[in-house]
Structure 1
Amino acid sequence: MKPLYNFILSAIGATLLSGCASSPDHATAGHDAAAIMPASGGPLLPLPGESLVPAHDPDDGLFMDALSSWLEQNNAPPNTQYEFTRIDLDNDGRREGLVLMQSPHQAWCMEYGCSLFLFRAHDDGFSYLSEISPVRGPLVVAESQTSGWRDLIIHVSGRQNNDARNVALKFNGRGYPSQPASAPGLAMNMLDVTGVKIFP
């Protein structure tokens, strides 16, 4: 499912999630508690060198509300499940939201992986940024940057001719490239990339 437009997702009445930033969250992401929810929660990653989240960083309740609204507006299946994490991609002190879909497979996934949705963080909410598909974890949010945004290192495999390789998806001024398979190979092992591994 490809979103056709960008829009600011404002959260109303943020719900405080249980647990701290280092603990998995199991709160629902939709209005129906049994319908759309994280499959296992995602680790919430701290800003480098920071022990506390800055006051202007929108909290996890706002992200869950924004994601729930976005899924509803894009007609997500009621049994949608996903993993999520948050990390600052553009070094503005606000953690973006990254959501790796899991099920139902026929809605969000294909043979080579599932859709990864990125949401840009603002002071009071989130806006849709990019879809990258297909993706399989793990991937690395690299320390290297393009146009002020951190590069995403993704492993591509299972295509024709066993063309397994790591690729670097670089911000293009509007978002990240949508198809990892079309990106050139990266001459580096993912273990050697300096950054943060997510969705292991």
Structure 2
Amino acid sequence: MKIFAAVIAVALPGGAVAQSTPPEDPSLIAYLQQRAGEAADTTRYTAALTPDGKTALVYLTGPTWCGSGGCRLLVLDRDGSSYRSVGEISVARAPIRLLEREDHGRRALGVQVAGGGIIQGYEAAVPFDGRRYASNPTVPPAMRIDDAPGETLIRADEAGRPLTPAPDKP
């Protein structure tokens, strides 16, 4: 079984941190394929690990996962040879950041909020309530933030990987 390798951080101008996408993890792909079901062929994903390596953030894109307000962000903890959900944020836009602020022993997530009736986009802090991350960054307990310290785990310019590889062409 292959497990995520350490995430490589690269310092960017202005102190921002960009993380490389971890190597493909067969357990994560199996989890995502089961979750996607018939939508697996049209699903792309970008994954990153938190610095402690215990939690994967998976940004899903494609017709099933995205709407005018953004796309789906899964927050998954490693559970033996599989994963368990500790959050599913319904309308998120990249970049996805891990904020310094903590709630119930976990760092809050920073996601971009725009579209779906929101004219001027902003960043929202999505807290952990002790069991799960809040599901909607546009309503409390999530809150608008400005210049909160944190590190970028999923950049806005990452295209994502296809969940189901394209068949080889003859």
Q: Give TM-score, length-normalised by structure 1.
A: 0.60
Structure 1 spans left out of the alignment, 5+ residues: 1-13, 24-41, 46-59
Which residue of 32, 37, 50 maps to 1:87?
Answer: 50
Structure 2 residue matching 1:166: 3-state secondary structure: strand
Cα distance change of structure 1 residues 167 and 69 upon mapping to structure 2, 3 Å threshold: same
Whole-angstrom CA distance in 2 between matches of 1:161 and 1:78? 29
Question: How far apart are 1:163 and its partner, in Å?
Answer: 5.0
- Aligned runs of 1:47-62 on 2, under 5 Å? none
Assess if the C-alpha contact under 8 Å between 1:102 and 1:114 holds in 2: yes
Please name the residue that 2:2 is paired with: 15
* Amino acid in structure 2 at the alignment position of 1:98: L
Please name the residue that 1:30 is paired with: none
Which protein has the bigger strand share?
2
Assess if the C-alpha contact under 8 Å between 2:93 and 2:114 holds in 1: no
Question: How far apart are 1:122 and its partner, in Å?
Answer: 4.4
Whole-angstrom CA distance in 1 between matches of 2:107 and 2:118? 30
Whole-angstrom CA distance in 2 between matches of 1:118 and 1:187? 20
Q: Give TM-score, length-normalised by structure 2.
A: 0.70
Cα distance change of structure 1 residues 120 and 16 upon mapping to structure 2, 3 Å threshold: closer
Please name the residue that 1:43 is paired with: 20
Whole-angstrom CA distance in 2 between matches of 1:194 and 1:119? 23
Question: How far apart are 1:133 and its partner, in Å?
Answer: 1.4
Instruction: Report Cα offsets for 1:143-183 as digits up to 9, x if no partner.
Output: 11000000112221224362533221110111111111113
Cα distance change of structure 1 residues 65 and 166 upon mapping to structure 2, 3 Å threshold: same
* Amino acid in structure 2 at the alignment position of 1:70: Y
Paired residue total: 143
Please name the residue that 1:97 is paired with: 56
Whole-angstrom CA distance in 2 between matches of 1:71 and 1:128? 11
* Structure 1 outlier segments of 4+, above 3 Å: 122-125
Assess if the C-alpha contact under 8 Å between 2:70 and 2:113 holds in 1: no
Cα distance change of structure 1 residues 185 and 65 upon mapping to structure 2, 3 Å threshold: same
Please name the residue that 1:38 is paired with: none
Please name the residue that 1:108 is paired with: 65
Which residue of 26, 29, 32 maps to 1:65?
Answer: 26
Taking only the aligned residue pairs, the percentage that are identical comes to 22
1:186 aligns with 2:144: yes
